[in-house]
C-alpha cells in the first residue's frame, strides 16, 4: 500500500533559474559585458562553442514564462539578477533599462502570486570588475555591497527573500582553480582567496541589504554541499576525504554558521591564505537568516598526491546509477541535512541561532524530447525528484526543520561549459523555436504542490 508523504503546512515549493542561463539579450538595453559573455565567446571554452547570447530568450518572454508558472500552480521562484545589467561599467552609473526589466519581472511574478527569491550573484560578474582582479581581490567585496544596497533600495518593497550568492564553491573552484568556468583562471591561490572574498562579500552585502530595506526581510546564501565519503577504509583515503570536506563544505559552513574558519586545520592552507582573513572578517560573515542547500550528489574521495593543496581527487564508484553529470545518490540528501542540523544546529550549539534551512536546488539532466503526441515523458526525472523529496521528508521526520524545496530548473537552459546539451527543466524548451512544453515532471510537480506531498 502506498503511504502518504505529506509536508508541514507552509512548506515552500519552488523552482530556480539564473540570469545568464536563461535571459539572453546579452548586449541589449545598455547591459555591460559579464565574464560569461567573454568566456563563452572564447573558442573552445563551451561545448559546441555555444553561448548564452540568446539562450531561451527569457528577457523577452518573461511574461509568458511566468504565466506558465502560474498555470502550474508554482508559488515561489528563485531567480538571479545580472549585475552588469544594472552596473554596466566602472563609472558606477546605473542602467535604468536593466533596473526596469527586473521591476517588470518582479511585478509580473507578484501579479501571478509567485513569491520572488532574488539572488544577487549567480556567476555573471561584470567584466570590468574581473579586469580589476575579480573575486581574488578584496576590493570586489565593497563593489558587491554597493550593488546589493542599490538592489535592496529598489526592490525590497516587493522582494522579501534575498540571496547573496549561489554556490561560492563553484564560483571559486570552477572559475579560479580548474578554470572550466568563467573567468577561466587556474590558480589555486587565487581560488582560495576568492573563497574568502565571496564569504566576506556575503557579510557586507547582508548589511547593505538590511540597511536599505523597506520592510522586514530575510537574507540567505545558497551553497552546493555534498557529503564527502572516503573511497576506501584506508587511513589515507579517510584523511583525504576529511581534507576535501574542508573545502567542499566546511570552508563555507563554519564561517557562516559558527564564525570560525577551518583554514588553520591544514598547515599548507593556512600558510597560503591564512593572512587573507583579516581581524573582524569572520564576525561579519556569520550572519544568515536562511541557508539554501543545493544537492545533486555525494563526493567520493581518495588520497591523490598529484592534486595541489588537498592531495585528494574524486572517484566515481562503479555499479551505481549516473545521470549525464553525476552519481545519483538520494540518501546523501538526508545525510547532509541531518549532518548540518546535528553539527551546526541546536543539538550541538544550543546558543547558536540556527538559520532556516531549505533545499534551493535539486534536479537531474535528462536527454528529453517531445513525443509524437506532444508529451515529454521524463519518467526518469520524476523518479529522481520523488526519491530526493522523500529524503527531505525523512530529514523532517527526524527533526530537521527544512522549510522548502526548489527544483532545478523551471525551464531547460544553458548549462554553462556543457552548453545546451544537458536539459534540467520541468518545462521543455525547443532551443530553435523557443517553444515551451510542460514535461510530465512539470505536471507531476504541480500535483505535489497542490497536495503538499504525494503518495509513495
Ligand atoms: O545549472 C547549475 C546551476 O547554475 C547551479 N547549480 C547546479 C546546476 C546544474 O549543474
361 pocket-lining for ligand 1 (C-beta < 6 Å): yes
Distance 249 CA to ligand 1 centre (A): 17
Give the HSE-up count for residue 301: Cα atoms under 13 Å, Cβ half-sphere: 27
Query: Are the CB atoms for 177 and 30 separated by under 8 Å?
Result: no
What pLDDT is stored for residue 385 in this prediction? 98
| Marked catalytic residue, from 23, 167, 335, 415 | 167
How far, in Å, is the centroid of ligand 1 from the Cα of 285? 24
All three cell numbers of 54, joined, read 540568446
Mutate to test the pocket of ligand 1, among 168, 324, 415 (most ligand atoms within 8 A of CB): 415
* Span from the CA of 168 to the centroid of ligand 1 (angstroms): 12
User: Which CATH number does the domain housing residue 87 bear?
Assistant: 3.20.20.80
pLDDT for 353 beyond 80: no
Q: How many domains does the chain have?
A: 1
- The 10s digit of each residue's pLDDT in 258-271 is 999 999 898 888 88
All cell numbers assigned to 303: 588520497
Q: Which stretches of 156-221 are DSSP H helices?
A: 168-172, 188-212
- Quick one: average pLDDT of 427-456? 98
Q: What is the pLDDT averaged over residues 97-116?
A: 98
Q: Which residue, by CA, sits nearest to atom 9 of ligand 1?
A: 415
Cα separation of 120 and 151, whole Å? Answer: 8
- Distance CA(380)–CA(366), nearest Å, equals 8
On whether the CB atoms of residues 165 and 147 are closer than 8 A, the answer is no
Task: Give the angle 118-362-403 at the CA atoms, nearest 5°.
Answer: 65
Q: Residue 55 and residue 52: Cα distance in Å, rounded?
A: 5
pLDDT(352) > 80: no
Q: pLDDT tens, 386-400?
A: 999 999 999 999 999
Other beta carbons less than 10 A from residue 453's beta carbon: 18
Reading the block at residue 205, the C-alpha cell is 552585502
Q: Which of 417, 424, 426 to mutate to test the pocket of ligand 1 (most atoms within 8 A of CB)?
A: 424
Which residues 6+ apart lie within 8 Å of 279 measured at CB?
none
User: Does the active-site annotation cover 242?
Assistant: no
pTM of the model: 0.98
| CA of residue 246 to ligand 1 center, whole Å | 21
Structural domain boundaries, residue 273:
4-455
Q: Whose CA is nearest to atom 10 of ligand 1?
A: 415
- pLDDT for residue 119: 99
Residue 351 confidence (pLDDT): 73
What is the predicted pLDDT for the residue at 176? Answer: 97
Number of H helices, E strands in the chain: 16, 15
27 by Cβ neighbours in 10 Å (0-12 / 13-18 / 19+) ranks as: exposed
- Cα–Cα nearest to 32, from 100, 103, 90, 118: 90
- Span 275-306, pLDDT tens digits: 999 999 999 999 999 999 999 999 999 999 99
pLDDT tens, position by position, 4-40: 999 999 999 999 999 999 999 999 999 999 999 999 9
Amino acid at each position: 500500500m502506498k503511504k502518504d508523504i505529506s509536508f508541514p503546512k507552509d512548506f515552500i515549493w519552488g523552482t530556480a533559474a539564473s540570469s545568464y542561463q536563461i535571459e539572453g539579450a546579452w548586449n541589449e538595453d545598455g547591459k555591460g559585458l559579464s565574464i560569461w559573455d567573454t568566456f563563452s565567446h572564447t573558442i573552445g571554452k563551451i561545448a559546441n562553442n555555444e553561448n548564452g547570447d540568446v539562450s531561451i530568450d527569457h528577457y523577452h518572454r518573461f511574461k509568458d514564462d511566468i504565466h506558465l508558472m502560474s498555470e502550474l500552480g508554482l508559488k515561489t521562484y528563485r531567480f538571479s539578477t545580472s549585475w552588469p545589467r544594472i552596473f554596466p561599467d566602472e563609472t558606477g552609473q546605473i542602467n535604468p533599462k536593466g533596473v526596469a526589466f527586473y521591476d517588470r519581472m518582479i511585478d509580473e511574478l507578484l501579479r501571478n502570486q509567485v513569491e520572488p527569491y532574488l539572488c544577487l550573484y549567480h556567476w555573471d560578474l561584470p567584466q570590468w570588475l574581473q579586469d580589476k582582479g575579480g573575486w581574488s581581490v578584496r576590493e570586489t567585496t565593497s563593489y558587491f555591497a554597493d550593488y546589493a544596497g542599490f538592489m535592496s533600495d529598489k526592490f525590497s518593497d516587493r522582494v522579501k527573500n534575498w540571496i547573496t550568492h549561489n554556490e561560492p564553491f563553484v564560483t571559486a573552484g570552477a572559475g579560479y582553480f580548474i578554470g572550466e568556468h568563467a573567468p577561466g583562471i587556474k590558480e589555486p591561490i587565487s581560488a582560495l582567496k576568492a573563497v574568502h572574498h565571496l564569504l566576506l562579500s556575503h557579510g557586507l552585502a547582508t548589511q547593505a541589504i538590511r540597511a536599505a530595506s523597506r520592510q522586514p526581510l530575510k537574507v540567505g546564501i545558497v551553497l552546493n554541499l555534498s557529503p564527502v565519503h572516503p573511497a576506501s577504509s584506508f587511513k589515507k583515503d579517510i584523511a583525504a576525504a576529511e581534507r576535501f570536506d574542508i573545502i567542499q563544505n566546511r570552508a563555507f559552513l563554519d564561517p557562516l554558521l559558527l564564525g570560525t574558519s577551518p583554514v588553520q586545520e591544514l598547515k599548507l592552507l593556512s600558510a597560503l591564505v591564512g593572512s587573507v582573513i583579516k581581524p573582524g572578517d569572520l564576525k561579519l560573515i556569520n550572519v544568515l537568516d536562511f541557508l539554501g542547500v543545493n544537492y545533486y550528489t555525494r563526493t567520493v574521495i581518495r588520497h591523490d598526491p598529484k592534486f595541489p593543496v588537498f592531495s585528494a581527487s574524486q572517484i566515481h564508484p562503479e555499479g551505481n546509477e549516473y545521470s549525464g553529470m553525476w552519481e545519483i545518490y538520494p540518501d546523501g540528501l538526508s545525510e547532509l541535512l541531518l549532518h548540518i542540523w546535528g553539527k551546526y544546529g541546536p543539538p550541538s550549539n544550543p546558543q547558536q541561532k540556527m538559520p532556516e534551512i531549505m533545499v534551493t536546488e535539486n534536479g537531474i539532466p535528462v536527454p528529453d524530447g517531445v513525443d509524437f503526441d506532444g508529451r515529454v515523458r521524463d519518467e526518469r526525472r520524476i523518479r529522481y525528484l520523488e526519491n530526493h523529496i522523500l529524503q527531505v521528508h525523512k530529514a523532517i521526520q527526524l527533526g530537521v526543520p527544512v522549510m522548502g524545496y526548489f527544483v532545478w530548473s523551471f525551464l531547460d537552459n544553458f548549462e554553462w561549459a556543457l552548453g545546451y546539451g544537458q536539459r534540467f527543466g520541468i518545462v521543455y524548451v525547443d532551443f530553435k523555436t523557443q517553444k515551451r512544453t510542460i514535461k510530465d515532471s512539470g505536471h507531476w510537480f504541480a500535483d505535489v504542490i497542490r497536495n503538499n506531498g504525494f503518495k509513495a
